[in-house]
Structure 1
Amino acid sequence: MEAVAGIGCGSASASAAWRIGTGRSRAVGGAGGRGRVRVRVRAAGSSGSDVVEFEQVQGEKVRWAGDDPLAKFVSGLIAIKPLFSLLQTGAKNVMEMVEEMQASDVYAELKTLENPALVYPDYYIQPFHGYNTGNLSWEAAFDCEPATRALWKRTFPALDSWKEAGELSRGNWADAIDSHHASFSGGLPVGDVVDLGCSTANSSRFLADRFPTAQVTGLDLSPYFLAVAQRQEKDAMRKKPIRFVHANAECTGLPSKSFDVVSIAYVLHECPQSASRKILREAHRLLKPMGTLAITDQSPKSKAIQKLHPALWILMKSTEPWLDEFYRLDLEAELQECGFTNYRSALTNPRHFTATATAAM
């Protein structure tokens, strides 16, 4: 697998200029192919000496995902119901930052979006993220945006605000999509974009801003998330409003070969491998020939994730039941099996990767 480098960055004050650049990755240390890949990070217009590096671990899995004794110990701990409940409470406390979305008119959006005939897969109705009903609640929907803001701030703690951190991380992600599409689409314009598993549309809004002439569609299994997303989108007063669809990303019901870009942002780590494979096949079906798939999610090779304290591993696994399966997923091989080519992958912040690929002719 190619290690892709070059994420523009300098100091915190120069963060607005951090973008994917032209540096190259290099492997250092380790025997037998094991070691670390340093992803070079440079601020736009900076000198060669002004470089920070996001580090990936090469050829290693996350220590608490799998079948080794440590992984089994962590899984055993969170299977104990009193401890599981305690960890759920701790995780929820991190996310209890509910803001202005409890306005009364958001509830009316649900009726305009919900597909009452939709059957939810079993994995989706299990407890996760600290909620007994998963994403199928107003509580989860209202907490989603504050939790996303906290995520960005933790990812770039040196930055002054979550907004600055989010713009940096999303900007690197969008740059990766732009770069891949420009390189491999054969000049295919970006006219239609679908964001599978869009949640409350944080990623969808960024896509709409990056591709202002495109029609962006946000699709999600949670009608509560979509209701919040649609309410926020009305406030945006966009010339081409984002369209929202209540459907399963495994089988969307959308027309084949109808999108130039398909985005899957922070979705696969919440799915068993069987569902992830179906989502990838569906993404290929939706894309026009030479269209671009973009996946962003947690990176099992991130040095920041590899070095997490064991207590945080337990906390994460207590609210993310499918993490082990996600970390063992060979994404490049799965995409090749689906018919994708031109696979690229890069860290677009210290914890998360963006993988891009092309739908073959």
Structure 2
Amino acid sequence: MLECFTILLLSSKFALSESVAFSYLASSMALCGASQQLALISGGNGHQRRGRISRSNRGPIKVQASTSSELGVYEEGRLERPDWSGQTPLSRLVGALISFKPLYSILKLGARQVLISTAEKKNISWRKLTSDILESDVYKELDSVQNPSIVYPDYYLKPFHAYDDGNLSWLAAAEVQPATMSMIMRAVPTASSVDEAKEIVFGNWLRRIKEHHLKYSGNPILDILDIGCSIGFGTRQLADEFPTAKVTGLDLSPYFLAVAQYMDKKKAPRRNAIRWLHGNGEDTGLPSRSFDLLSISYVLHECPHVAIVNIIKESFRLLRPGGTIVITDQASKSKVVQELSPVLFTLLKSTEPHLDEYHLTDLEEKMKEIGFVNVTSRLTDPRHVTITATVPF
């Protein structure tokens, strides 16, 4: 299956001209059948493992068996970040390929088709879940969540995730649910169902939050903010875990928030209803020191470096002394992420324009510079890292 993109690796190692690389890659894409691409995306490494860490002098972290009650321990790769990211020769080559507009259009279409087909092979009804939203009364929710005074940053107005309008469209909002379910299944490929994968991904994430807050703060969690909440997957998990807290989900896309609110109305009322807020995580306009827990999940890899720093600074301002921040995102040190096949990391980078900036940003050091203490990180599934930290008392 890797033969389809062997020429891409060869061109990166032997410095073929960009024009040659373009033609070879286009030919490879044409020869690579859908079934081969799907096998690449659904197979390979990434098996969920549990156990204690022991380091080998010759390689990455090894995992030994232990009781299932412990938080999963997952393998790190040999590098600080993937060699297909940042300013490496391979990364620059892939960037040059993606910048070639005719090829970018092919990659964008290919990425979307592979994602949908792979999801449906995992019994995720992508098309049905999408049509259920698009054919519903969700449109009535837009006016009640949209803030007409919002000024969108330039990066947010560009094509993104294979959508010409980025996150500012009904189609993007309608496809968040199946896309998230697909992401969760990719994170835990051994899971037999979405529910099982969610239990691992969200369970490990929530466990890290509670462990950190209990160890370094102990303050009651009364107010929670979820920055970049999308349609509220993680927001609802937080509301379920901390039912007495007041939870706010904030996002730049009013379409995402409309779907979040619509989905909430289909569920039984909560003791404390989630507040859905249209705002920019870089400058929320919310009062300082007004939250005990602040979450940023799967957001920062979608942002340029300046926005990443601004969001972390804003988070520090918003948290009360002793408050906990939790950031979950793609793990630069993940063995699975570092070993993505050429077809996968090329398709991934074609839909994630700021991925290089994200992987070049040392989040832990940046958080310390801004003022956070007790900064700790851990892989909470094979692909994602969860970083927790505290605002000093």
Q: TM-score range by the shorter chain?
A: 0.7 to 0.9
Q: In the alignment, does 2:75 pair up with 1:74? A: no
Of Structure 1 and Structure 2, the greater strand share is in: 1
Q: Is the 8 A contact 2:230 2:257 kept in 1?
A: yes
Alignment correspondent of 2:111: 91
Q: Is the 8 A contact 2:134 2:171 kept in 1?
A: no
Q: Per-residue displacement from partner, 1:253-305 (whole Å, max 9, x unpaired)?
A: 11110100000000000001100000000000000001000000000110011
Alignment correspondent of 1:317: 349
Residue 57 of structure 1 deviates from its aligned partner by: 2.1
Q: Between Structure 1 and Structure 2, whose CA radius of gyration is higher? A: 2
TM-score by length of 2: 0.81
Give the Cα separation in 1 of the matches to 2:231 and 2:62.
33
Q: Could you tell me the percent identity over the aligned residues?
A: 49
Q: Is the 8 A contact 2:84 2:345 kept in 1?
A: yes
Q: In the alignment, residue 26 of structure 1 is paired with which amino acid?
A: S
Q: Per-residue displacement from partner, 1:212-238 (whole Å, max 9, x unpaired)?
A: 111110000000000000111112222
SS of 2:348's equivalent in the other structure is: helix
Give the Cα separation in 2 of the matches to 1:145 and 1:251.
27
Q: Which runs of 4+ in 1 moved over 6 A?
A: none
Q: In the alignment, residue 151 of structure 1 is paired with which amino acid?
A: M
Alignment correspondent of 1:9: none
Of 171, 191, 199 in structure 2, the residue corresponding to residue 139 of structure 1 is 171
Alignment correspondent of 1:190: 221
SS of 2:60's equivalent in the other structure is: strand
SS of 1:89's equivalent in the other structure is: helix
Q: In the alignment, does 2:301 pair up with 1:273? A: no
Alignment correspondent of 2:56: 28
Give the Cα separation in 2 of the matches to 1:68 and 1:297.
22
Q: Is the 8 A contact 2:104 2:350 kept in 1?
A: yes
Do the aligned partners of residues 218 and 349 (structure 1) sit closer, same or farther apart at CA in structure 2, a change above 3 Å counting?
same
SS of 1:172's equivalent in the other structure is: helix
Do the aligned partners of residues 43 and 208 (structure 1) sit closer, same or farther apart at CA in structure 2, a change above 3 Å counting?
farther
Q: Per-residue displacement from partner, 1:41-96 (whole Å, max 9, x unpaired)?
A: 744359xxxx9851112553211112221111111111111111111111222444
Give the Cα separation in 2 of the matches to 1:52 and 1:341.
24
Residue 27 of structure 1 deviates from its aligned partner by: 2.8
Do the aligned partners of residues 164 and 26 (structure 1) sit closer, same or farther apart at CA in structure 2, a change above 3 Å counting?
same
Q: In the alignment, residue 212 of structure 1 is paired with which amino acid?
A: P
In structure 1, the gaps of 5 or more residues are 1-17
Residue 314 of structure 1 deviates from its aligned partner by: 0.5
Q: Is the 8 A contact 2:324 2:391 kept in 1?
A: yes
Of 254, 279, 285 in structure 2, the residue corresponding to residue 223 of structure 1 is 254
In structure 2, the gaps of 5 or more residues are 1-47, 117-125
TM-score by length of 1: 0.88
Across the two proteins, how many residue pairs are aligned to each other?
Answer: 333
| Aligned pairs (5 A) from 1:119-130 | 119-130=151-162
Give the Cα separation in 2 of the matches to 1:121 and 1:259.
25
| Aligned pairs (5 A) from 1:163-174 | 163-174=195-206
Residue 195 of structure 1 deviates from its aligned partner by: 0.1
Residue 136 of structure 1 deviates from its aligned partner by: 0.2
